Structure 1
């Protein structure tokens, strides 16, 4: 019986989460053992073992309802914050417009030329 030697390359490969989860599920089904799956997909057995451990440790998150509540609260907070910023921008825009109007009334239409040039204007 001839023994086959597998040479793993040292280039870094990137695996998708779908690929990882499919392999781990196949491993958990028990149809193939860890070493066989690793050899078929040309990955190190330790890497597959780590994926399995990570999968099992994070599996309870799927059934965690508080995570969804926290997400909804965070989205609501962000909406309120954006609305607050929009109000502030609107208020400041109105103030600037009013100041420009009053400056033109008091100092004349070319009042800006009397002062130093505005930054970032060419």
Structure 2
């Protein structure tokens, strides 16, 4: 019995840089979505999706996201310091009791 060779359908993975480039080109509208799809060998629906995602998240570029990241880093550092203070207080209390009983 003859078996046909099985072809694997591997999904292509695109970098964020590539997606942004294609989305920007679609936004500029110098070429149609169909032409851009042919140029980059990507399905037109995929380009439309990237374009929509790009436009929906464009305002985050100008938002104060860096402030929230910096704040979370500071909060983590603060938590570490509070834990260290707690350990040192326990150690200090233990040493006081040890010396007081001796």
TM-score for the superposition, normalised by structure 1: 0.61
Greater radius of gyration (CA): 1
Structure 1 residues 93 and 35, CA, compared in 2 at 3 Å: closer, same or farther? farther
CA-to-partner distance for each residue in 1:20-41, whole Å, 9 max, x for gaps? 0011111112221111111121
Higher RCO (C-alpha 8 Å, min separation 6): 2
Indicate the residue corresponding to 1:76 in structure 2.
74
Distance in 1 (alpha carbons) for counterparts of 2:37 and 2:75 = 45
Q: TM-score, structure 2 length as denominator?
A: 0.71
Structure 2 gaps, min length 5:
1-7
Aligned residues: 90
Q: Distance in 1 between matches of 2:78 and 2:88?
A: 15
User: Partner residue of 2:28?
Assistant: 29
Matched, 1:38 2:37: yes
Q: Structure 1 residue 12: deviation in Å?
A: 0.7
Q: After the TM superposition, which parts of structure 1 deviate over 3 Å for at least 4 consecutive aligned residues?
A: 87-96
Which residue number in structure 2 is paired with residue 63 of structure 1? 62
What is the root-mean-square deviation of aligned Cα atoms in Å? 2.4
Moved more, 16-25 or 77-86: 77-86
